Chains A and B, each alone.
Chain A
């Protein structure tokens, strides 16, 4: 009887250990999981030094006093990014005068192709208050790390295409007026949901 309990105990310990290890590995591998969505993770964001679509410098100070949506993508992306940027544009339209300090940033994960000039023509397609953000490849790598953004260049040969592509996580981040991370929305989120969440930001 005692022996059986001992074995059961060992089995339980083993199972708990295995689960814990699996969770750790999974957390490390995935840029985000469903469980992350909707709840505060204060370790997202941080100082950055980048350039906006007008060529002006932009830092984390741009988040102060504004309720911000931040999206990472690339303009060469034909379908995922335009869909999310459309929703972001609609969100800003929905908020209208209700939330005059609402803004949205589109940070490229493809700084080689997304120059300020090119971004200027791109972001203006979606909304006048959408700011395009780019930088040197090193600056973009740094901001990606801070915002826990995953992206990886895929060579033309590997993708079977004419030009290289970029795999990237497609999340929309919400930041409060102190520049603190509030939550993240997944690809395909509706404008009404984002507008409601932005209005609910208190500080």
Chain B
């Protein structure tokens, strides 16, 4: 019995250590923004910068109460032709922030349930392979808003799970 208890304690300790390690990797979301849409627009977009403090992770999907569906997209310019396609996941490696910004990777809000107006904020949940769900409040800016200067230097409005 004593033997069993000792092992149980050890097992619990290692479990704690494991969960502790798993929780140590955090995703930081900075400079999120969306763009104001037309009253009849069915789509909108969200842009932000993702950073990971250690290891690797993947952004697998996202969801928002303002849209029926949220997709991960990429825009590629080839000989002046803009080509938008969906991407299955956005890989993340510690030390290399990934910028989702106009003209590149972005989060597409499809089937908008409401007009996005400048000054509003859109709740967005990002689902990562390891970090799980990360919630972020995305402020809606002007219709052609660009990323804030120095967005890659990191902001302070990230929300970790």
Binding site for B on A (CB under 8 A): 30-33, 75-80, 82-83, 85-87, 89, 117-118, 121-122, 124-126, 150, 154, 159-163, 165, 167-171, 186-188
Q: Which of these, B73, B84, B144, contacts A82 with CB under 8 Å?
A: B144
Asked whether A187 and B86 contact (CB < 8 A) given A78-B44, A78-B45, the answer is no
Stretch of B1-9, B20-28, B102-110 lying at the A interface: B102-110
- B88 CB contacts on chain A under 8 angstroms: 160
Chain A residues lying within 8 Å of B79, measured Cβ to Cβ, are 30-33
10 cross-chain pairs, A with B, having the tightest CB-CB distances, nearest first: A86-B144, A78-B45, A121-B38, A160-B86, A125-B143, A79-B102, A122-B38, A80-B82, A82-B144, A121-B39
Contact B85 A82 (CB under 8 A): no
Nearest to A82 among chain B residues (CB) is B144
Interface SS of A by simple majority: mixed
Once A121-B39, A121-B41 are accepted as A-B contacts, the answer to whether A31 and B143 lie under 8 Å apart by CB is: no
Q: Pick the residue among B36, B71, B75, B110 that contacts A80 (CB under 8 A).
A: B75
CB-defined contacts of B146 to chain A, threshold 8 Å = 83, 86
B39 to chain A, nearest CB (A): 4
Contact residues, B50-103 vs A (CB, 8 A): 69, 71, 73, 75, 77, 79-86, 88, 101-103
Contact (Cβ within 8 A) A168 B82 = yes
Least CB distance from B49 to A in Å reads 15
**Residues of chain A with a CB closer than 8 A to B119's CB:** none
B116 to chain A, nearest CB (A): 10
Chain A residue contacts of B44, Cβ below 8 A: 78
The size bracket of the interface on B is 35 or more
- On whether the beta carbons of A80 and B41 are closer than 8 Å, the reply is no
Q: Is there an interface contact between B41 and A75, defined as CB atoms closer than 8 Å?
A: yes
Q: How far is the CB of B22 from chain A (nearest CB, A)?
A: 31
Report the Cα distance A15→B33, complex, angstroms. Answer: 52
A83 surroundings in chain B (CB, below 8 A): 102-103, 144, 146
Q: Which residues of chain A have C-beta atoms less than 8 A from B36's C-beta? A: 125
Q: Closest Cβ of chain A: how far from B83's Cβ, in Å?
A: 5
Instruction: Give chain B nearest CB distance to A157 CB in angstroms.
Output: 11
B82 in contact with A82 (CB, 8 Å): no
Instruction: Tell me whether A159 and B80 are in contact (CB under 8 A).
Output: no
| Of listed B69, B86, B102, B145, residue having the most chain A CB within 10 A | B102
Partner of A77, one of B80, B82, B86, B110: B82
Chain B residues in 8 Å Cβ range of A170: 77, 80-82
**A67 → chain B, closest Cβ, in Å?**
21
Instruction: Decide yes or no: A31 and B80 within 8 Å by CB, A122-B38, A188-B103 being known contacts.
Output: yes
Residues of A within 8 A of B38 (CB): 75, 118, 121-122, 124-125
- B80 to chain A: closest CB distance in Å? 5
For B81, what are the chain A residues with a Cβ–Cβ distance below 8 Å?
31, 150, 167-170
**CB closest chain-B residue, reference A88:** B144
Known: A89-B144, A126-B144. A78 touches B82 (CB 8 A): no
Contact indicator A78/B106 (Cβ below 8 Å):
yes
Please give the distance in Å from B50's CB to the nearest CB on chain A: 17
6 other A-B residue contacts (CB within 8 Å) besides A79-B45, A162-B69, A187-B80:
A33-B79, A77-B82, A86-B143, A162-B111, A163-B42, A163-B43
